[in-house]
Amino acid sequence: MIQRIQSVYLLLTTLFSGLFLSGSLLKFRNNTGDIISICFRGIYRTAGESGNNLTEKLIPLSVILIMIPAVSFAAIFLYRNRKLQLKITLAFIILVIVLILLTAYYGVSVVNQYSCEIIPGIKMLQPVVTLVLAVLAYRGIKKDEERVRSYDRLR
């Protein structure tokens, strides 16, 4: 239901998490000028004019990147069952935390493997913004549930 602010938060998390599927999550540059990027499908290395070469597939990261928008989108339509919506949103928060940890792990492994440095970008902040919006949605759903319980006590 769109009248509730947590539904707007969940819609924004769906949009932000949908952006994970396009472009690269992290980009790196090594001493020779090669650009290494962690994308949805894996780790790509762009070496001069040879184009993008897939160097490693990242199946766990790909699975989580698909699950995050799906779980967030499903949580929007569970407004009639707030307890289930709370559980789904909590699962969504856990998935985003796992995404942040996996991205950090793969980032550190790329830095060690290719001896490169990270190129700062706006995509680095998307998982954190998604996590903040998911926590705000969880708090809003929890407040609604507490409000309904207090009204039931008054009856």
The CA-to-CA distance between both ends of the chain, in Å, stands at 25
61, 67, 106 from 98: Cα distances, Å = 9, 12, 12
Q: Please give the average per-residue pLDDT across 86-90, as a whole number.
A: 95
With contact defined as beta carbons under 8 Å apart, do 62 and 41 qualify? Answer: yes
High-pLDDT (> 70) share of the chain, %: 95
Per-residue model confidence as pLDDT tens digits over 56-78? 888 999 999 999 999 999 999 98
> Does the pLDDT value for residue 52 go beyond 80?
no
Whole-prediction pTM: 0.88
**Can you give the pLDDT at residue 3?**
58
Which tens digit of pLDDT belongs to each residue from 115-137? 899 999 888 899 999 999 999 99
Q: How far is Cα 110 from Cα 94, in angstroms, rounded to an integer?
A: 24
Integer Cα distance of 82 and 141 in angstroms: 7
Residue 96: per-residue pLDDT: 95
Tell me how far apart the alpha carbons of residues 23 and 94 are, in angstroms, rounded to a whole number: 23
Higher-confidence position of 155 and 36: 36
